[in-house]
């Protein structure tokens, strides 16, 4: 394994759309509750969830990949830390 590389991690996310306040809270290890202002239509909420979660983790949004749950409030993301930190 390369120096500085890390193992990919799976993050379970419970999404809340059309929220008054945006937030990302780690409820337990690798489990997050993310609230965004966007409506759950045309992928707008999913795009914003990825940005808010990445900001909370201190990583670039491209390090997060939505694996499961594109049309569900329960989502599974893959965190691949091969990209630079923000």
Over residues 7-60, the pLDDT tens digits come to 789 999 999 999 999 999 999 999 999 999 999 999 999 999 999 999 999 999
> What's the pTM value of the predicted model, to 2 decimals?
0.85
Per-residue model confidence as pLDDT tens digits over 75-86: 999 999 765 555
Domain assignment of residue 30, yes or no:
yes
Work out the pLDDT band at 5, boundaries 50, 70, 90. low
In a domain, 84, yes or no: no
Q: Is residue 21 part of a domain?
A: yes
Q: Would residue 86 count as lying in a domain? A: no
Mean pLDDT of 59-84: 91
Domain that holds residue 64: 9-79
Residue 4: inside a domain: no
The residues, any chain, with a CB within 8 Å of residue 51's CB and separated by 6 or more, are 61
Q: Would 54 be classed as within a structural domain?
A: yes
Residue 49 within a domain:
yes
Domain count, the chain: 1
Of residues 82, 78, 83, the one with CA closest to residue 11 = 78
2 is a domain residue: no
Q: Which CATH number characterizes residue 19's domain?
A: 3.30.1200.10
**Residues 56-78, mean pLDDT to the nearest whole number:** 96
């Amino acid at each position: 394994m390369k120096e500085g590389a890390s193992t990919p991690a799976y993050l379970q996310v419970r999404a809340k759309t059309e929220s008054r306040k945006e937030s990302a809270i780690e409820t337990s290890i690798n489990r997050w509750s993310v609230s965004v202002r966007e409506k759950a239509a045309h992928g707008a909420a999913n795009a914003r969830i990825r940005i808010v979660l990445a900001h909370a983790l201190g990583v670039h949004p491209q390090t997060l990949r939505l694996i499961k749950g594109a049309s569900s409030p329960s989502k599974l993301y893959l965190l691949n830390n091969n990209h630079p930190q923000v």
